[in-house]
Amino acid sequence: MLAAIRKNMPKDKVAYPRLPSFEVAGKDLKRTFEESLSKAGGKLFDIANKEEALQLFAELYPDAKVVCSATAEWTGNKSLEEVSAPGELENVDVAVIRARFGVAETGMVWLTEHELIVNSLAFLAQHLVILLDPDEISENMHTAYRRVDLQRADYGVFVMGPSATADVGAVLVRGAQGPRSLSLFFTKSL
């Protein structure tokens, strides 16, 4: 196969371009992030302390029976330590995960197996709560890709709001195969 490629490769070689990062000085990263994530269907909240977070959580998810947290900052009622197979998370109503950083341009958060502990948590849960330090927002996709460390993570995902589809009659529906909603709590630590 390599021989076939070599035989057919165009003779005129094209040089690799220099890639600018297109940063704009003075950009309000938190505000941009909020606008972007709202467009992608996420909801955002500024959280001052744990109490406020608990109260908001209770308001947002009054019917949640199974809450599973991947961060030591939050205690759910289903422990990831007891999970022996990823499918066991299928009954999770709300998952709480701390993201490493966010991306202002798109409203994405970066999650790897180190944040998720069990990868299926972010996809089987009906709803996601993402904790994000407002100082950990990268400006755009160029700056964001400098921060992802693919050497250190077998799996890493930029999550931009809840799962979505428009495959039935081109109508946007939030909550396709993955989470139906994503709430982002801005907090340095809880």
Q: Scanning residues 35 to 54, which ones bind another protein (CB under 8 A)?
A: 36, 39-40
**CA dist., res. 48 & res. 185, Å (int):** 10
**Residue 117 and residue 131: Cα distance in Å, rounded?**
15
Dmax (CA) for the chain in angstroms is 66
Tokens at residue 73, please? 């900052």
Q: How far apart are CA 60 and CA 130, in angstroms?
A: 13
Report the nearest approach of another protein to the CB of residue 162 (Å): 7
CB of 99 to another protein, least distance (A): 14
**Contacts with another protein in 61-90 (CB under 8 A)?**
86-87, 90
In the chain, the amino acid numbered 102 is G
Which of residues 51 and 90 has its CB atom nearest to another protein in the complex? 90
19 forms part of the interface with another protein (CB under 8 A): yes
Which residue from 52, 68, 166, 186 is in contact with another protein, where contact means CB under 8 A?
A: 166
Q: Which residue's CB is nearer to another protein, number 131 or number 157? A: 157
Tokens of 137: 């927002």
Q: Is 146 in the site for another protein (CB under 8 A)?
A: yes
Q: Are 117 and 123 in contact (CB under 8 A)?
A: no
By CB under 8 A, tell whether 7 contacts another protein.
yes
